[in-house]
Amino acid sequence: MAILKPFKGLRPPREISQKLASRPYDVLNSNEARIEVTDNPYSLLHIIKPEIDLPVTIDEHAPEVYEKASANLASFMENGWLVQDSEEYLYIYAQTMNGKTQYGIVGCAGVEDYMNGIIKKHELTRKDKEEDRMKHVRITNANMEPVFFTYLAVAEIDAIVNQIVSNNPADYDFTADDGFGHHFWVIRDAEQISEIVRLFEKVPYTYVADGHHRTAAAALVGNEKKKNNPGHTGNEEYNFFLAVHFPSNQLTIIDYNRVVKDLNGLSNAEYFQKLEEVFEIQEKGSEIYKPVKLHNFSMYFEGKWYSLTARPGTYNDSNPIGVLDVTVLSQLVLDNILGISDLRTSKRIDFVGGIRGLGELKRRVDSGEMKVAFALYPVSLQQLIDIADSGNIMPPKTTWFEPKLRSGLVVHLLD
């Protein structure tokens, strides 16, 4: 059964919460982060992307960068920009996008749950990215950013959350520059905390929705600390790490699309001939066409949109990986026709999150940068859970969750 643990959160005063809360470290590059913190000394980016406070020429993985993260965290605490709660609490973090709000419980997940497979993954992680975040956790001795988990909804937990948010004003409540709302409550009632923890014991597994590298780093550093502590008891704070747990029935995965630079030496006629063998093709004209169901794709090519529907027998709906449209497109088009066999390393393909809209696909093709674009029907959360439960790994760039969690509304210290 999954662990959910209250903790003494490190949080900003209400009046600076919006300025301190930032986008996750991996959503923007160093230059974008430098621009974002202009005239904002409070931004958590000073801690999670500390190279922005060092010369532009510095390697973002240099030792001085990690040391700056630690120094900046100490400074934030000294300045009273991050203040630790006196008691162990759980928290509620809600996000509003397009009029829909999703409510997550913020509490600590268990390192042992990660090591034992109670926390399930659906993506491969890269060792270099893991090590980068591990260094950050080690030197700050904190989980500066939460990871994004989901679990099969428990009605009794939903009822308690609804009661809290209906009867109490949010501790933080703001709309970010991107138009998404962020709302945060501290659960101070000890009985409510105990009841949520007890109910969470009904949850057999939790699933990493977003933040596989941060999850791995947090768990692996906790495991390191366990091995290095001869007096280890299992109750130390390093045995737990910061996560926001959203019930699965409240989340939406949006599309994650592809743009390709060339036709692999094929003429337009040859390319369409090969497509016809595996797809039913309908020309849709100049108006943007969005896929309407599983195994239906949208293609933008030479100023026109097309509907591509995979022909029966070209996909395997009985296989949790084979049923995914990223698999169907990869096998039928990207690999077999366009010669792109490794999505992780090929320089001929790029990926566009659906939050940017299909107009972004059109723009990148019309500009001449790309030759053809493909939009996919989004993966369902049930497909993600099925894959994680079967021990399989999704192909690269399959899921895009939105809105992203803001970092800095609460931090977890490891001692």
User: At a CB cut-off of 8 Å and minimum separation 6, what does 44 contact?
Assistant: 20, 21, 22, 144, 407, 408
| Residue recorded with tokens 């293609």 | 299
Residues 198 and 278 in one domain: no
Q: Tell whether 93 and 36 lie within a shared domain.
A: yes
Shared-domain flag, residues 174 and 263: no
The sign of the dihedral angle between the CA atoms of 156, 161, 164, 167 is: negative
Sign (positive/negative) of CA torsion 293, 308, 402, 211?
A: positive
**What's the whole-model pTM score?**
0.91
Same domain, 271 and 138: no
382 within some domain: no
**Residue 124 to residue 330: CA distance in whole angstroms:** 17
Residues 74 and 215 reside in one and the same domain: yes
Residues 298 and 340 in one domain: yes
Closest CA to 323 of 394, 255, 275, 249: 394
Do residue 127 and residue 161 come from a single domain? yes
Q: Which of 206, 208, 61 is nearest to 134 (CA)?
A: 61
* Sequential pLDDT tens for the chain (415 residues): 899 999 999 999 999 999 999 999 998 999 999 999 999 999 999 999 999 999 999 999 999 999 999 999 999 999 999 999 999 999 999 999 999 999 999 999 999 999 999 999 998 888 999 999 999 999 999 999 999 999 999 999 999 999 999 999 999 999 999 999 999 999 999 999 999 999 999 999 999 999 999 999 999 999 999 999 999 999 999 999 999 999 999 998 999 999 999 999 999 999 999 999 999 999 999 999 999 999 999 999 999 999 999 999 999 999 999 999 999 999 999 999 999 999 888 999 999 998 889 999 999 999 999 999 999 999 999 999 999 999 999 888 898 898 999 999 999 999 9
The CA dihedral of 48, 53, 55, 56, to the nearest 10 degrees, is: 60
DSSP assignment string, 54-104? S-TTS-TTSHHHHHHHHHHHHHHHHTTSSEE-SS-BEEEEEEEETTEEEEE
User: Containing domain of residue 240, as a range?
Assistant: 10-252+402-413
Query: What CATH number should be reported for the domain holding residue 287?
Result: 3.30.1760
Residues 323 and 194 occupy one common structural domain? no
Are residue 73 and residue 165 in the same domain, yes or no?
Answer: yes
Q: Which residues of 81-100 are buried (b: 16+ CB within 10 A; e: fewer)?
A: bbeebeeebbbbbbbebeee
User: Under 8 Å CB-to-CB from 216, ≥6 apart: which residues?
Assistant: 114, 125, 130, 133
DSSP of 284-313, one letter per residue?
Answer: EETS-----STTEEEEEETTEEEEEEEPTT
Q: What is the pLDDT of residue 395?
A: 86
Asked if the structure places residue 264 within a domain, the reply is yes
Q: Tell me the three state secondary structure of residue 118.
A: coil
Verify that 235 and 125 share a domain, yes or no.
Answer: yes
Assess whether 353 and 310 both reside in one domain. yes
Q: Is 115 domain-assigned?
A: yes
Please check whether residue 389 lies inside any domain of the structure. no
Decide if 155 is inside a domain: yes
- Per-residue tokens: 70: 């630690």
Q: Which residues contact 12 (CB under 8 A, 6 or more apart)?
A: 20, 21, 42, 81, 82, 83, 408, 409
The number of distinct structural domains making up the chain is: 2
Do 196 and 340 lie in one domain? The reply is no
Tell me whether residue 215 is exposed, middle or buried, using C-beta atoms within 10 angstroms of its C-beta: 0 to 12, 13 to 18, 19 or more. Answer: buried
Residue 277 lies in a domain: yes
Q: Is 245:147 a contact under the CB 8 Å cutoff?
A: no
Can you tell me the distance from the alpha carbon of 25 to that of 50, in angstroms, rounded to the nearest whole number?
10
CA distances from residue 149 to 107, 114, 275, 331 in whole angstroms, order as listed: 11, 12, 38, 30
